[in-house]
Each structure stands twice: as C-alpha cells, then as structure tokens.
Structure 1
Amino acid sequence: MIRKNAIALISRIRENASKLIVSELEKHGIKGMAPSHGDVLMVLYHHERVTMKQLAESIKRTKPTVTILVNKLVDLGFVQKQKDNNDSRVTYITLTKEGEKLRSMFFEISDKLNAVVYNGLSNEEQEQLHNILEKILDRF
C-alpha cells in the first residue's frame, strides 16, 4: 500500500526538530531565539560579514523575513548591523562577542539534531534521504 502522507510526516519532523532546538537553547539559558535564527547564525559562523542581500540569498528567505530575523538577533545582542560607508542602501551583518560565544553551543545542538535525524541510517540511506528531499524541494 502506497501512503501519500509525506508532507504530514515532514511537518511533524520539523515540529519535533524545532522543539528539540528550543529545548536545547533554553537549557543553555537562551530564551527568545527561534530555530529560524539558526540559519542566520550558521551563515555568520562561516562568513565574517555579509550583506542583508547575501544573507537572504544564502538562507533562501525574502529580504523582509531576513530583516525580522536579524532585528530579533540584534535585540538579543547576538548580531549587529552596520551601513556601508559608500552606499547607505547596503547593510552589513556581523556577529557580536555574545553571538560568537554561541558558536560551540550552536554546533553542539546541531550535532545533537543530526544524531536524531541520521541515527541508524547507513551512509547510503542518508544520501538517498537527502537526494529525495532535494528532488521534492526542486519541484516547488
């Protein structure tokens, strides 16, 4: 029997993953941060400074959505915004010292989440899972 409930399963997986992330953040005393903020932090952990446009492209979100995410991280003290000296339309985002302090905790939580997702899957199954999800995403 072929089941057609992939979206429901993906939705429940995402919900549980978000709960795990929020729970782990709270264990580390971080409140008010959502899992979607992790996308922003991940980009900044790999690039010292990015523009809002680069950030939006990297995390595949609209500029207004990225603005909301970044503003929340600014309010929490983890990132800062700085206008370009030559072009005031360009805004750079960088980590603060507080944001940099989150780096090891961020990767620890990421490792924990990946352990849940990939536990018991062979390398081949992990690759198949990734490829199937990419195919589905590309259709949208």
Structure 2
Amino acid sequence: MNKIKIPILFSRINRLQKKHLNDNLKIFNLESSQGIILLKIKELKKITPTQLVDLGVIEKPAISKTLKKLEGLGYIIKSQSNQDARSFYVSLTKDGERIASHVEEFLDKLDKKFHTILTDDNIQEIKNVLDYLEEKEIKKS
C-alpha cells in the first residue's frame, strides 16, 4: 500500500486553488499570486513590500517585479514612507479595488464549495495541523 505523503496533499490543495484562481483572473491579465496580493492590500488599506513578504503572501525575490507589474497595470499606487525615505507603501487604485473585490468573491465561492465537501470537524483538523506546523516551524530536510 502506498503511504500518503502529507506535503504532497498540501501541494495538491494549493495547486487546485491556484488553477481555479488563475482561470478566473485571466480576463485581468493576472495570476493567482497577484490577485491574492491585491486582496491583502485591500484588507490592510496600505502595506509595505516587506510586510507582504512577512505575511507569506509572496516570496522576497518576486516582490519587486510583481509590484511593478501591478503598478504598470494601474492596480496599485506607491507612496513614500514618512518614517523612512528608502521605504514605500502600496495601496489600491479604483481598478485595483474592483479586482480585489472580484478575487474576494471568487474565494468566498470556493470556500462555500469546500464547506459542502468538508465537515466542520474536517476543517478544524486541517486548521489544527497547519497551526501546529507553523508553530513548530518544520524545516526542510
């Protein structure tokens, strides 16, 4: 019997969500990670690139290129930090707000689909496992 590999299960869930979100965002010329960034900016109003990385929304090597694309598409604007001249914040434009709302609606629909498949106990178990893994900071081996 084949042993189920938990990291592969998590990867499959992530890939499934990305595929559906990518398909949904094609009309805006965006990928799932960019849509999630817009949604996080919407939630927090304004945020620094470092904060986006710290929240796990995007990897550090990709942040500059991704924000530049979103700015070029007119979805975000940058504003200089008053505390540190080398730092800046990003916030959404009207178009960025519209797309972030679209992403939010899509994720809500996807969430409802998951809730029809999973029981509350299943969901709590998944959350407990993820909380535990984050707490223990399991390292790559």
**What's the TM-score, normalizing by structure 1?**
0.81
- Structure 1 consecutive aligned stretches of length 4 or more whose deviation exceeds 6 Å: none
- Show the counterpart of 2:5: 5
- Show the counterpart of 1:74: 71
1:6 CA drift (Å): 2.0
**Pair 1:22-2:22 in alignment:** yes
Q: Deviations over 1:13-48 (max 9, x none)?
A: 22221110011123xx212x1111233222211122
Q: Deviations over 1:87-128 (max 9, x none)?
A: 321111010111011233111111122234333222121111
Q: Gapped runs of 5+ residues in structure 1?
A: none
Q: Which amino acid in 2 is paired with 1:23?
A: D
Matches within 5 A, 1:122-137: 122-137=119-134
The alignment partner of 1:139 has SS state of coil
Alpha-carbon distance change, 12 to 66 in structure 1, aligned in 2, over 3 angstroms: same
- Contact 2:42–2:91 (Cα < 8 Å) also in 1: no
Fraction of identical pairs, as percent: 27
How far, CA to CA, are the matches of 1:6 and 1:131 in structure 2?
14
How far, CA to CA, are the matches of 1:82 and 1:114 in structure 2?
33
Matches within 5 A, 1:1-140: 3-26=3-26, 29-31=27-29, 33-59=30-56, 61-85=58-82, 87-137=84-134, 138-140=137-139
**What's the TM-score, normalizing by structure 2?**
0.80
How far, CA to CA, are the matches of 2:59 and 2:9 in structure 1?
26
How far, CA to CA, are the matches of 1:108 and 1:86 in structure 2?
35
Aligned residues: 137
